[in-house]
Structure 1
Amino acid sequence: MNNLNSILIEGNLVRDPLYRTTAKGTALCTFTVASNRYFKQDTGTEKEVGFFDVETWAKTAEHSYNLGKKGRGVRVVGRLKQDHWTSADGQYHSKVSIVAEHVEFRPEFKKDAVPGDSMTDEALAEMPSSSIAENDEAEEETAPVEEFEAVAF
C-alpha cells in the first residue's frame, strides 16, 4: 500500500523569500506562509493563524524568489518533510516543513494608478492570470478559475 503525503496551503508571505544555492549549485528558496483560519466560538468568530516554512528547488526556487515578496498571496502544493537532529547539548529536535512542487502567486496591482491610465486596478483585474512553464514559454490558456500566477511546473 502506498502512503499519501500531499498538502495544499494558501496564505501570504510573512517576509521576502531567502535565496541561496547548494555546494553543487542547485537553487534553493525558502519562505514562510501565514494562513488564517476562522471558526465560530460562543464569543463570536475567532481567528487562528498558522505559520508554515516552505522550501522550493531549482527553477521553482528562482521563480519564487523573483515573484515573491512580503505580503503577497501565495498557493503552495507540495509534500511534508520532517527533519530530525540532535543539538550540541544533546537535545533532540524535529521540524516539519513543506517542500513545494507547485507555487502560484496572486497578481499584484498598482497602488498609485493614475485615473485614465490604461493599466488601472480594474483593467488588471480583468486580465487572465499568467503562467510560467519550465521552458519559459507560456502554457496554453484555459479559462481561469482563480486569479493566481503559476510559478512551478
Structure 2
Amino acid sequence: MRGLNKVMLIGNLGKDPEEQTLEGGITVAKFSLATTESYKDDKGETHSLTEWHSIVAWRSLADLAGKYLKKGSTIYLEGKIKTRSYEDKEGNKKYVTEIIAESFIMLDKPADKAEINASF
C-alpha cells in the first residue's frame, strides 16, 4: 500500500525567515508558523489553542520566502512532515519534527494588490 505525507496549514509567521546558503549555492529558509484553533467549552466560553510549527523551505521557494515573507505574514502552506534525529553535546539522541514546505500562498494582500503564489 502507498502512503501519503501531506500537510496543509494556514497560519502566521512567528519571525522573519532565516536564510542560509549551503555548499553548492543551495538556499534554505527556516521560520516558525503559528496555527490557532478556537472552541467553546460547556459554559459557552471561547478558548484558543495555538500550535507552533517549524518550517523549512529549500532552493527557489526559500528565496521567495526570504524575499516576501515577514513576521506576522499570513500564509497557506503545503508540505510534508519530516522527523530527523541528532546527538546533543552530552551524546543524547534528540528528535526534531519539521514541515518541509512544498508551496505557499500569501494571504495578506501586498500594497499593489498582487497575489504571490510560490511552489517548487
* TM-score of the alignment, normalized to the shorter chain, above 0.5: yes
Q: Which residue of 2 aligns with 1:50?
A: 51
Could you tell me the TM-score, scaled by structure 1's length?
0.72
Residue segments in structure 2 that go unaligned for 5+ positions in a row: none
Q: CA offset at residue 2 of structure 1?
A: 1.2
Q: Which residue of 2 aligns with 1:18?
A: 18
- In the TM superposition, 1:68-147 aligns within 5 A as 68-108=69-109, 124=113, 130=115
More strand by share: 2
- In the TM superposition, 1:23-38 aligns within 5 A as 23-38=23-38
Q: Tell me, in whole angstroms, the C-alpha distance in 1 between the residues paired with 2:79 and 2:94.
A: 23
What number of residue pairs does the alignment pair up?
A: 119
SS at match of 1:15: coil
Residue segments in structure 1 that go unaligned for 5+ positions in a row: 111-118, 131-148
Give the direction of change, closer, same or farther, for the CA distance of 1:69–1:84 in structure 2 (3 Å limit).
Answer: same
Equivalent position amino acid for 2:117 in 1: A
Q: CA offset at residue 151 of structure 1?
A: 1.5
Of the two, which has the highest radius of gyration? 1
SS at match of 1:60: helix
Q: Which residue of 2 aligns with 1:140?
A: none
Q: Tell me, in whole angstroms, the C-alpha distance in 2 between the residues paired with 1:82 and 1:40.
A: 33
Equivalent position amino acid for 1:24 in 2: G
Q: CA offset at residue 108 of structure 1?
A: 3.5
Q: Tell me, in whole angstroms, the C-alpha distance in 2 between the residues paired with 1:59 and 1:94.
A: 27
Asked if residue 152 in structure 1 is aligned to residue 91 in structure 2, the reply is: no
Could you tell me the TM-score, scaled by structure 2's length?
0.90
Equivalent position amino acid for 2:101 in 1: A
Q: Tell me, in whole angstroms, the C-alpha distance in 1 between the residues paired with 2:50 and 2:59.
A: 29
Identity %: 23
Higher relative contact order (CA 8 A, sep 6+): 2
